[in-house]
Amino acid sequence: MMHLLAVAILASAPANVSDTLSDEALVAYASRPYDKAAKFLHHDVLGIHHGTEVVADFPCSDVCPTYTVRIIHYSAEPGPDCDKIGGVTVTKMVPVSIAVMRQPFCVPKILVEKKLE
């Protein structure tokens, strides 16, 4: 019985989730400085932008929090999936151990246009 109720609830949920994050809000967030000590190793969900979830990751490696970086990106795979939602695949340097590794992310186009990626 509970299984049928869960299916009915899922079936009645809207297919498209409303945006909760505007271009302006996303640019404002990306423009603000952040506290590396408070944020290192965090994964924050920022909201829905153009129908896709946007997150901010704060990876760090051997010298934390000094080398914490902020990466704002869609929760979508880089490449063709990113292109379909209007994002841009951007390669970022991510701290790993005592080095850095190049890793692609699907970034909101507005951040690329404003050079805030």
Terminal alpha carbon distance of the chain: 48
State how far Cα 83 lies from the chain centre.
15
pLDDT at 7: 34
Residues in the chain: 117
Give pLDDT, residue 5.
34
Domain membership flag for residue 59:
yes
In a domain, 10, yes or no: no
Q: How many domains does the chain have?
A: 1
Query: What pLDDT does residue 63 have?
Result: 86
Concatenated DSSP letters for 82-111? Answer: HHHTTEEEEEEEEEETTEEEEEEEEEEHHH
Structural domain span for residue 52 = 17-113
CA 113 – CA 49 distance, rounded (Å) = 15
Mean of the pLDDT values across residues 43-64? 95
Q: What pTM value is reported for the model?
A: 0.83
